[in-house]
Amino acid sequence: MVDPQHDVEPYLEAAAQKNMRITHIIETHVQADHVSGARRLAEATGAPIFMHEAADVRFPHTDMADGDRLDLGNVGLRVLATPGHTPDGVSLLVTDRSRAIEPWFILTGDTLFSGGVGRPDLLGSGAERRLAEQLYDSLHGRLLVLPDHLEVFPAHFGGAACGKGLSGKPGSTIGFERRFNPALKYGSRDEFVRFVLSDLPPQPAQFAENRRINLGLTA
């Protein structure tokens, strides 16, 4: 399971219906828009929680680092560190070896959306520019070097407050976003930083508390 919601019953029911076990719980970053279900799901299944090593969480988990690989039968995951929305952001490059030896799609968390990119202002405290620069490097140095045909599945689509300009379409491709995503039209880091930091909607009041809960700082 990747980025589970707080209500974990649908995941348990879906696994039971297919006679499968949940063996890995992965967070693409410390969430702010919702209270994560990762710890509840881990308690229910015994599966470990995987998070990037930069995630300063206060509960048991397994660290991931850039380039790590997870094997799940025919499916293989490769971890790409993609900080910017948060310092601990990762994307997951997915290969279905029953289809091909090359990756089929990528789970981009809150780094790259259909029509937008993650907002870099959630930490506040003057970290916005540093995170925006990291986001530029993650997009141009890690994601946009991938093949155009690679499918993109982000954690959110239209209506979410984790970015601006998000499309209502839940998926895309690297090639389509390269051509039509407004945030990817800026060739220089400074132009990109100005764009992603301008006209950001206010953070919902619950974001800061959700993040504290998801860090394990409060119940």
SS (H, E, C) 41-106: HHHHHCCCEEEECCCCCCCCCEEECCCCEEEECCEEEEEEECCCCCCCCEEEEEEECCCCCCCCEE
What letter does residue 27 receive in the DSSP assignment?
Answer: -
pLDDT score, position 40: 97
pLDDT score, position 95: 98
207 contacts: CB under 8 Å, gap ≥ 6: 32, 33, 122, 161
The domain spans of the chain are: 9-198
Instruction: Give the C-alpha separation, 100 to 30, whole Å.
Output: 32
Q: What is the pLDDT along the chain (219 residues), one digit of tens a residue?
A: 999 999 999 999 999 999 999 999 999 999 999 999 999 999 999 999 999 999 999 999 999 999 999 999 999 999 999 999 999 999 999 999 999 999 999 999 999 999 999 999 988 778 999 999 999 999 999 999 999 999 999 987 765 666 677 777 889 999 999 999 999 999 899 999 999 999 888 888 899 999 999 999 986
Query: What CATH number has the domain spanning 9-198?
Result: 3.60.15.10
pLDDT score, position 160: 63
Q: In 3D, which of 30, 11, 32, 1 has the Cα closest to residue 161?
A: 32
pLDDT score, position 128: 93
Residue-wise pLDDT for 73-85, tens only, equals 999 999 999 999 9
Pairing of the two strands 62-64 and 49-52:
parallel
Residue-wise pLDDT for 59-70, tens only, equals 999 999 999 999
pLDDT score, position 203: 82
pLDDT score, position 141: 97
Pairing of the two strands 69-72 and 75-81:
antiparallel
If you count DSSP H runs as helices and E runs as strands, how many of each does the chain have, helices first? 6, 11
Burial tier of 160 (Cβ tally within 10 Å: 0-12, 13-18, 19+): middle
- Name the 3-class secondary structure at 172: strand
